[in-house]
Amino acid sequence: MATIRLGIIGIGNQGSYYARSISLGEWPEVELTLAAVADINPARLEWAEKTLPESVARFDDTIAMLDSGLIDACVVTVPHYDHPKYVMACLERGIHVMCDKPAGVYTKQVREMNACAAAHPAVVFGMMFNQRTNCVYRKMRELVQSGKYGRVRRANWLITNWYRSQFYYDSGDWRATWAGEGGGVLLNQCPHQLDLFQWILGMPATVQASMRFGQWHDIEVEDDVTALMTWPDGHTGVFITSTGDPHGTNRFEVQMDGAQLVCEEDKLTVYELEDLEQDWMKTNKLPFGSVPGHSFEPETDGENPQHRGVLQRWAAAILRGEPLVAGGAEGINGLTLSNAMHLSAFTGKTVALPFDEDQYYNELMNRVATSRRKTGGTAVVADTGNSFAGAK
């Protein structure tokens, strides 16, 4: 395949960003040629007609685009509930597919999507986890998983710099509703961070969450979350997030036997101990002594290509079998954390992983039934925010 002919499903803010960047030559290293776009919103198709090259076909019906023979690969950038639906439509037609985050709203539907992908192994299926391209997080994962500093003792991520005004939530009737989005800050703003949390630390064994619904805004879903997790080896982690802090923080800290890793202000700092704590403890004779050490910034490759990097690696996987940034099947992991947090808050109980997916689905559907958004339709516009945060 000399050229990969690309289609995009949904040309709201995120989809139009891809469409412009690829079709106007802003990402020359990305081995994709935009061939077609699909959207149910006439205004977005009018935008495509005015903005994109004439060679880009426009469809008001997604399946018609998938069956047109014009595309070899497709990016899915539609509201959360519809991600698995359109990914599976691509998989079943042998069309390579990249899914925007999150993989879906509930793990039960994503598990069906992953089973479909397993049945079509020749199709390259990727997830748009662009934060995995950030050299800071890549280095953090390398240090944690190398074993150099021993085991993880504790991990904390305080990410509250997602402030959103009421105007933001009022900009669409689908926003911050159980029927429209399926959740709040966990489903919209935090999928990248939840993915990174498990990508770096592994999946926990239990989740216990305190969650506030509409605490800071006139919305029905969560805008304030504090979750405690435990891992099989006994270490703990806390994940705190909110869209209500007018001046928030983004600090990811991992305490290990031999070092403390802190990611803040897009910078990784390592406080390296002179000895592993458990070894130093055996010889220490000072009642208030602490393990000596020093801090430094570890060397990285400095690369952070974000969406462009994910799409180029996807193209390379299609053309030459090179590895993806994130395989599509991995999308269920961060969503599992999100669903477990919701289920814990819904039931007031600690949730063990794997959790009862039918129970979660039923709890979610009970809320969908009384949601402010009564229609079954879904919107196509997403506020992408800044690319580093990966916000919607």
3-state secondary structure 108-135: HHHHHHHHHHHCCCCCCEEECCHHHHCH
Per-residue pLDDT at 3: 85
Is there a contact between 5 and 318 (Cβ–Cβ < 8 Å)?
A: no
Residue 172 has a pLDDT of 85
Measured CA to CA, the distance from residue 353 to residue 357 in angstroms comes to: 10
* CA quadruple 381, 382, 383, 384: dihedral sign: negative
What are the respective helix, strand and coil percentages of the chain, to the nearest 5?
35, 20, 40
The reported pLDDT for the residue numbered 374 is 57
Peptide bond into 204 cis (omega under 30): no
Per-residue pLDDT tens digits of the chain, which is 392 residues long:
568 999 999 999 899 999 999 999 999 999 999 999 999 999 999 999 999 999 999 999 999 999 999 999 999 999 999 999 999 999 999 999 999 999 999 999 999 999 999 999 999 999 999 999 999 999 999 999 999 999 999 999 999 999 999 999 998 888 999 999 999 999 999 999 999 999 999 999 999 999 999 999 999 999 999 999 999 999 999 999 999 999 999 999 999 999 999 999 999 999 999 999 999 999 999 999 999 999 999 999 999 999 999 999 999 999 999 999 999 999 999 999 999 999 999 999 999 999 999 999 999 999 999 998 855 444 322 333 222 222 33
What's the number of CA atoms in the CB half-sphere (13 Å) around residue 44?
A: 26
Cβ neighbour number for residue 50 with a 10 Å cutoff: 7
H or E, element range at 48: helix 42-51
Give the start-end residues of each E strand in 177-292.
206-213, 222-230, 236-242, 250-256, 259-264, 267-273
What domains can you pick out in the chain, each with its CATH number? 4-131+305-330 (3.40.50.720), 132-298+333-369 (3.30.360.10)
Q: In what order do the strands lie in the sheet with 236-242?
A: 293-296, 267-273, 259-264, 250-256, 152-159, 236-242, 222-230, 206-213, 351-352
- Looking at residue 375, its pLDDT comes to 52
CA distance 230 to 253: 16
Cα 67 from Cα 55, distance rounded (Å): 18
User: Which residue type is seen at 300?
Assistant: T
